[in-house]
Amino acid sequence: MQANTYSNNLLLDLHCHLDGSFSTNFIRQYTGDTRDDTQLKEVLSAPADCSSLTKYLGCFDLPIKAIQTSDSITNGVLDVLASAALDGIKYIELRFAPNCSLENGLSLTQVYEAAIEGTKLGLEKYGIHSNIILCAMRHHSPETNTKILDTMYDYVGHGICALDLAGDESMFPNESFEALFKKAKDMGIPFTIHSGECGRAQNVRLAMEYGATRIGHGIALIKDIQLMEDIKNKGIGLELCPVSNFQTKAWDEYSSYPLRTFLDKGLIATINTDNRTVSNTSIKTELSLAMEKLSIREEDIITLNKNSIEISFADDNLKNTLLNML
């Protein structure tokens, strides 16, 4: 049998927010902030016992200020790709809200092009493959969110891979976004939706009904056995982010965390970082937590990698390249 170089690592990260994953050097360079690493990390990282998702989301204010020009967006992507490559990642999907990068007059398509340029440079410089997921935001107006769909089509398959919906799920549940995702589905644009992070299984059901091929987090699914079966039968992927879930109190008990049950039931569950800086995590940290506290075993690593490849928005060529690395 051929030696397996990567059998002990997770090679993909499918749920990683660009603006939650910048280095302190990048933040200083593009905001002019002069605080040292320790001081900046206090602003950029949520405490391990963060009191709520709403508070956690406050950590994105400074990073968003940093990505208001084409140059900073390109270099922001490159900054996160550099740390992901060091983390052993071979393919990553970076997501961010393009409507939050328009303060200095960029157009949406200029934002997309700058991000795509970063993915190309990342492959050249660090050998890491990547795609961009564009996030609609729950607190933005339907018109603002729809503009993403109106402008992204030509870029899908060329560096942009999908649409997402992010933001405060408890304050803005999925019901309000049916029209957005109906339009995405009609346009043939794939999407994932943050759903079931805040305890509401109904959001997962709605995401499924709207046509999501993946669910961001989805941990509330564990409360609904029939829905779990439906998600499995439809082959919908689950992007779990354990460190973040414990940090935001989305889940509070290691022994009952749904990852083990999802895998045992044959759901296509994956492990991801969510926010490398805000959650002070990496894929290696996530895997260590999973193996030490969440009943994940060494033999699960191959399944987790295969699950990630299967549900990734990468094209078939890239999927084959990644499969050949296992």
Nearer to Zn ion, 274 or 286 (CB): 274
How many residues touch Zn ion under the rule CB under 5 A: the total is 1
Q: Smaller CB distance to Zn ion: residue 113 or 274?
A: 274
Alpha-helix residue ranges (DSSP H) falling in the chain: 24-31, 37-44, 53-57, 61-66, 70-86, 108-126, 142-152, 178-187, 201-210, 225-233, 242-247, 259-264, 283-293, 300-311, 316-325
Q: Minimal distance in Å, beta carbon 241 to Zn ion?
A: 6
Judged by CB under 5 A, the chain residues 251 through 280 that form the site for Zn ion are 274
At its nearest, how many Å lie between Zn ion and the CB of residue 194? Answer: 5
Nearest to 261 by CA among 288, 300, 305, 292: 300
Place of tokens 């033999």: 299
Task: Supply the minimum distance, in Å, between the C-beta of residue 221 and Zn ion.
Answer: 16
Dist. CA 107–CA 70, nearest whole Å: 10
- In the bound state with Zn ion, the residue whose beta carbon lies nearer, of 97 and 290, is 97
Nearest CA to 79 out of 90, 67, 91, 68 is that of 67
Q: Which of 197, 239, 298, 310 is catalytic?
A: 197
User: Is 197 known to be catalytic?
Assistant: yes
CA–CA distance, 314 with 293 (Å, rounded to integer) = 31
Closest-approach residue to Zn ion (CB): 274
User: Which residue, 274 or 300, has its beta carbon nearer to Zn ion?
Assistant: 274
SS3 15: strand
Smallest separation (angstroms) from Zn ion to the CB of 144: 19
> Where on the chain is the footprint of Zn ion (CB under 5 A)?
274
| Active-site amino acid positions | 197
